[in-house]
């Protein structure tokens, strides 16, 4: 067999590809695949580090409830809208309660992941900028989790707040006493709101020519109403998240990519008709 390959002038690799009918992917295709796998691994590692660190910040239950009482009193002193009023407004609409619980449970991570994937494929510069903003935002949130453990308003039963996820479903968290998979005393800042703001800004800046791009701004607004109505966060949690987002963008301002140029369609060449021809001047 080797002699045949040598006699025909065909290399051994070419001979094997002819027998199997398979060709290796070109180098230009393999490089993006490896880069995508590297980015996916990086995001997965960062998420794992975040989850482990957040669990490490667990505990401090008494301090978390003292901070919760202080936050509740501070909002009333600042005359901010009450979380209880928002929750009672949606309780009259069971379908709306279920929708809010679903939005809290199923939109947070998928929306962020979908945004990052689209940016990676279509706007690489915006992807790197947005990824770095999320890393800074999440790192800052972890520091706050360690410094200010905070019980969410759904645990302040004396205020009249309810855990809508547990009562109506779907529920994201189990009983705090037995939950070993999440830190439920890390209400501040609200990463639901923070990540939603980053997603909206990323898509708003990456698609400047779209007439409907303003709709992306609805995502953080809806997320804010959802986290408050379900009893998972205070208004001040969202404000803290917004402050961290602003700080992250300020630190990474030199990395902000230029706005993508809208694609223009060249004009079609004019077609001459027989009647438009002029006789030569002589």
Residue ranges and CATH numbers for the domains of the chain are 27-257 (1.20.144)
Would you give the DSSP letter of residue 150? B
**Tokens linked to 16:** 């094997």
Q: Cis before residue 179, ω within 30 degrees of 0?
A: no
Higher pLDDT, 281 or 139: 139
pLDDT at 184: 86
The CA–CA distances, whole Å, from 233 to 5, 35, 70, 131, 226 equal 71, 37, 14, 24, 9
pLDDT over 60 (residue 8): no
pTM listed for this prediction? 0.78
Tokens of 52: 């482990």
**What DSSP designation does 127 have?**
H
> What single-letter DSSP state applies at residue 231?
T
More confident call, 236 vs 26: 236
Please write the tens of the pLDDT for every residue from 71-115: 999 999 999 999 999 999 999 999 999 999 999 999 999 999 999
Q: Contact 173/184 with Cβ under 8 angstroms?
A: yes
Count of alpha carbons within 13 Å of 107, Cβ hemisphere only? 18
């Amino acid at each position: 067999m080797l002699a045949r390959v040598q006699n025909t002038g065909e290399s051994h690799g070419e001979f094997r590809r002819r027998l199997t009918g398979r060709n290796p992917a070109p180098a230009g295709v393999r490089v993006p695949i490896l880069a995508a796998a590297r980015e996916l691994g990086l995001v997965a590692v960062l998420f794992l580090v975040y989850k482990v660190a957040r669990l490490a910040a667990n505990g401090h239950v008494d301090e978390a409830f003292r901070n919760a009482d202080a936050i509740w009193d501070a909002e009333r002193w600042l005359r901010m809208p009450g979380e209880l009023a928002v929750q009672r407004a949606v309780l009259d609409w069971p379908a709306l309660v279920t929708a809010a619980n679903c939005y809290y449970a199923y939109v947070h991570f998928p929306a962020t992941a979908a945004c990052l994937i689209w940016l990676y494929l279509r706007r690489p510069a915006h992807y790197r900028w947005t990824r770095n903003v999320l890393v800074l935002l999440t790192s800052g949130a972890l520091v706050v989790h360690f410094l200010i453990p905070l019980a969410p308003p759904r645990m302040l039963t004396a205020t009249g707040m309810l855990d809508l996820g547990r009562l109506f479903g779907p529920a994201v968290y189990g009983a705090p006493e037995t939950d070993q998979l999440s830190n439920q005393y890390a209400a501040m800042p609200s990463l639901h709101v923070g990540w939603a703001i980053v997603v909206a800004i990323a898509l708003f800046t990456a698609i400047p020519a779209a007439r409907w791009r303003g709709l992306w701004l609805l995502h953080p607004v809806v997320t804010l109403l959802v986290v408050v109505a379900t009893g998972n966060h205070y208004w001040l949690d969202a404000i803290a998240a917004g402050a961290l987002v602003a700080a992250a963008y300020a630190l990474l301002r030199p990395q902000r990519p230029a706005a993508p140029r809208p694609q223009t369609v060249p004009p079609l060449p004019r077609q001459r008709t027989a009647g438009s021809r002029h006789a030569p001047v002589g």
